[in-house]
Amino acid sequence: MTDTLAEMTSATHAVSRSADTLAEALESYGPRVGADVGSPHTSGRVFHTSTDGAIEVGIWECTPGGWAIENRPNTETVMILRGRATITDADGTRHGLAPGTSLTLPLGWSGRWDIEETIRKVYVTIAGR
C-alpha cells in the first residue's frame, strides 16, 4: 500500500493493510529522548491520525534501552509484534511484553520501559481530554 497520511486522514472509506506492511522498513525517528539505559533508537510509521489529532494509529520499533515516563499525556494500547520488553508501573508491578502481548497504558500512567530485545508494536493513542 502506498497511501499517504493525508490520503488516509481524509478518507471516507476503510483502509486495509496486509500483514506484510507490519514487517516493512520504518522511518527513523532517532534516539529515544530521555533514555537512561543504553542508546535506544526509535523508528515507526503512522497509519492514521484523526482529523482533530486526538487519535493516532501506527507501528513503532525501538532497539534495547530504557527510560522512565511520568504522567503519560495520552492513553496507549499496543500489540507486540516482535521483541521483548518489561513495563514497570510506578508501584513496582512488572509486565513482561513478548509477541502477541497486548497492553494499555492509561492517561496519567507513570513507570518505565525497559527493552531487552528490539521491539515492534502496533499502537493506538488517544489524547487526554
Provide the residue-wise pLDDT of the chain in tens; the chain has 129 residues.
Answer: 344 444 444 556 676 777 777 778 899 999 999 999 999 999 999 999 999 999 999 999 999 999 999 999 999 999 999 999 999 999 999 999 999 999 999 999 999 999 999 999 999 999 986
Task: Tell me the residue range of the domain where 45 lies.
Answer: 5-10+28-127
> What's the domain count of the chain?
1
What is the three-class DSSP state of 9? helix
pTM listed for this prediction = 0.84
Residue 22 lies in a domain: no
Contact 59, 47 (CB under 8 A): yes
CATH number (domain holding residue 104):
2.60.120.10
Q: How far apart are CA 28 and CA 49, in angstroms?
A: 19
